[in-house]
Amino acid sequence: MTSQGFPRGCRLHLKNDFKSIIHDGKRIQGPGLVLWWKPAPLGSTNRRMGLVVSKKLGPAVVRNRVKRLLREAFRLNRERLLGGVDYIFNPRNSETLASIDMAEVAMLTLCRKAGLLQAQQIDQSHGAQNE
């Protein structure tokens, strides 16, 4: 069983890391969310996540809720994402990220478009047909 926590090693903290990823990394935009990503330094296999939330998103209550939802969506799906990559999410619209399901769909849609999801080892639809 894998750990369900969100340890310090899975978070981006340093200003230089944020600058490097935003300046030198790749960017993709979806409805209500922007994603920047870049391979992690020194061949790390961790998936690290950072958030950049503007005051334009709304008051502190709204900003904090969106951050909590995106962190939880990342935590629940981090095993599905490619390892050794740093991710920065920038929410642009709080209405499109109003629930955990909406945040998860927005995050996974962007990651899928960017090619950052791991290939499924077992086709779930094929497994369902055999039952």
Span 54-108, pLDDT tens digits: 999 999 999 999 999 999 999 999 899 998 999 999 999 999 999 999 999 999 9
| Domain spans, the chain | 32-112
pLDDT in tens, 10-69: 899 999 999 999 999 999 999 899 999 999 877 678 889 999 999 999 999 999 999 999
The yes or no reply on domain 32-112 and CATH 1.20.140.10 is: no
Angle at 123 between CA 120 and CA 125, to 5 degrees: 135
Residue 124 and residue 89 in contact, taking contact as beta carbons nearer than 8 Å = no
Pairing of strands 33-39, 85-91: antiparallel
Local structure of residue 120 (DSSP, 8 states): P
How far is Cα of residue 2 from the mean position of the Cα atoms in its chain? 19
